[in-house]
Chain A
Amino acid sequence: MVFAGASPGGRRPASTLVWVLPPAATAVCAALAVTAVPAGARTAVAWCGVVATLVVAVAAAESMRRGRLIATLRERFAAQEDGLRRRLVEQEEEIRRLARDLLPAAVDRLRRGSMVDEVMKDIDHAPDLDRDFESAHRALLRAVLETVRAEEDLRDAAQRAFVNIARRVQAIVHQQAQDLRELEDKHGADPEVFEDLLHIDHGNALVGRLADSIAVLGGSRPGRQWQKEVPLFNVLRGAMSRILEYQRVDLHSVADVAIVGPSVEPLIHALAELLDNATRYSPPRTRVHLTAIEVQSGIAIEIEDAGVGLSAEARRRTELVLAQASTGLDLNDLGETPRLGLAVVGRLALAYRFQISLRPSAYGGVRAVLVVPQDITCPTPAPGGAIARAAKLPPPKPVKRATPTPMPARVAKPAPDHPGFRQNGAGLPQRRRRMPVVTPPIRVDAPPPAPAADRPAEPAAPPVQPGMWLAAFHQGLSGEPSDDTEATEATGTPSIPSDPTDPSNKDE
């Protein structure tokens, strides 16, 4: 519009000249006609000429005016079109920017927990957009973000619900496991009941693993928590105990390290999922080899199966699943076990910095290597774990063999110092269920209640036979304390007279 007057300004003299020509020509023609006609008609012709000239002049003037108007309008339209086109380009660019940059960034921020208003405030708009478009633009963006937020909230709620349910299942499973362990101890001597208990125990562990998986996918941590470090051997067996076909897993050499408490459960769970995949995707008669060796960066745990193996395509997809683990719980995944398992492994690996690689195995299957970082391992206090540690110190049999009098003259220690064992009437260590073993069972004898008067019989007593000790042991396990000593006397060892007066009986 600025230049609307400028360009016609240049053309105006020419066009004005053009429009002067017709009236001038008419005037000249009229003048010629006046001179050409006889004198009598001159006045009339002159009048006609004047009128014709005027008419032509008026028509020319009108034409000139309209021509100018048209030119002006044309220029104005051109300018307007130009402006509109520029706006259109700008708006298209803005919409493209919205789709390409703004929306993904905003949704990403929302996913990470920002509020819609914060995100909206931080979005910068193109400065020279007109107000209507910008407000519409903002409204659109806000509507999209609100929708996304609502969906995210819904998904969060679903995740929380899943985690909540998984937690409850975990608690029940854990309680069941404890009860089962007690039952296993209780019925340990009855192989048939014991076998059934093991079967149920195994099923229970499988349920627990599923609950753990759901909890992990819901962004929580797997169920149990360990305060102390756990030897790697026990961790590997713990992983084995949570898969269906644990009999097919061969546990080979295991590095003598322990895993620090907080990382025990995630490692067990990740290994259980990998072992489950290995056993699930290999023929039922083949073995799965499990080894753990020390490497520079930590401990490499290898799981090697003799299955069909992974094609390059499948391996790429699997590694993608492992890598994409951070996107959270996709409810679609819950139906498919392998995807669920790998997603769980991926999440745990991300959270606890396990490195996982899947490579073709020499057996033809897959060799999964999970590298545990150095900083979550620690030297194990007792190689081989709690069991080896418990039994490391020799039981008291040398004394039993060496002297015919096993009972007397050992240094008595107060029994509460040895929470792992208590003595029954025969001085045998008695197992306490679910109690840890701290020290070797030391035969604790109470100091003789009466000096020498009650004792002389003892040196004369025959050496106590192990079989008889067992009778006492049985009584100690199952019987009442008073029955215990009576039964001991009645059945096996009548030659130990000090038993009934032994104060160590009383604390049973």
Chain B
Amino acid sequence: MSGPDRGGTGKDWDEGGPERLYTVTRGRAQPDRTSVELVSLIVARTEPQPGMQPEIAAVLRMCQFPLSVAEISAYLVLPVSTVSVILAGLLKDHRVEARAPVPAAVLPDPELLQAVMHGLQNL
């Protein structure tokens, strides 16, 4: 939540925003149902509207294309738990949808394929 050009002033007293993290999520540290994981992909289903909480508007704006929770967390400079709570609220309202990440194990391993190919050729 740091302002964009506050970091460079070198003035510790002035750094950061006046609000604390718990106000962003109303004190919740984890969503009611743990539906979002760090690697879930989030896609916005609605456009941000004026008057929305800035974080929600930002999520909706940046998630026109799928973004992982971790990426959202990095862009917003907010901890993952906070982002998860925000996303859980959005999911509940069907304003975003979460897609399961592609598990690494499902992807074909080229080396394995190559080994199989070589094995077949050697037959």
Contact = CB atoms under 8 A, between A and B. Distances in A.
Contact of B104 (A238, A268, A391, A491): A491
Contacts of A268: 18
A419 B22 contact: no
B81 to A, nearest CB: 4
Interface of A: 174, 177-178, 181, 184-185, 187-192, 194-195, 198, 201-202, 205, 224-228, 230, 233-235, 237-238, 240-241, 246-247, 251, 253-254, 264-265, 268, 383-392, 394-395, 397-398, 400-401, 419-421, 428-431, 434-438, 441, 462, 465-471, 473-474, 491-492, 494-495
A419 B3 CA distance: 12
Most buried by A among B2, B21, B79: B79
B106 to A, nearest CB: 10
Contact of A494 (B38, B103, B110): B110
A253 B6 contact: no
11 contacts: A187-B79, A189-B38, A230-B17, A234-B18, A238-B17, A241-B19, A388-B57, A391-B59, A392-B58, A395-B71, A466-B68
Contacts of A494: 109-111
B20 A467 contact: no
A391 B76 contact: yes
A228 B74 contact: no
B44 to A, nearest CB: 12
B48 to A, nearest CB: 9
Given A384-B57, A467-B103, A470-B70, 12 more contacts: A189-B80, A189-B81, A194-B79, A201-B22, A224-B18, A233-B54, A237-B18, A237-B23, A241-B18, A241-B22, A437-B75, A465-B107
B3 A470 contact: no
A431 B73 contact: yes
Interface of B: 1-9, 11-24, 26-30, 38-39, 41, 50-51, 53-55, 57-59, 61-62, 64-68, 70-71, 73-82, 84, 101-104, 107, 109-111
A181 B15 CA distance: 12
A270 B61 CA distance: 34
Contact of A234 (B19, B78, B104): B19
A431 B69 CA distance: 13
Contacts of A383: 50
B68 A238 contact: no
A385 B18 CA distance: 11
A184 to B, nearest CB: 5
Given A189-B38, A387-B55, A466-B101, A436 B17 contact: no
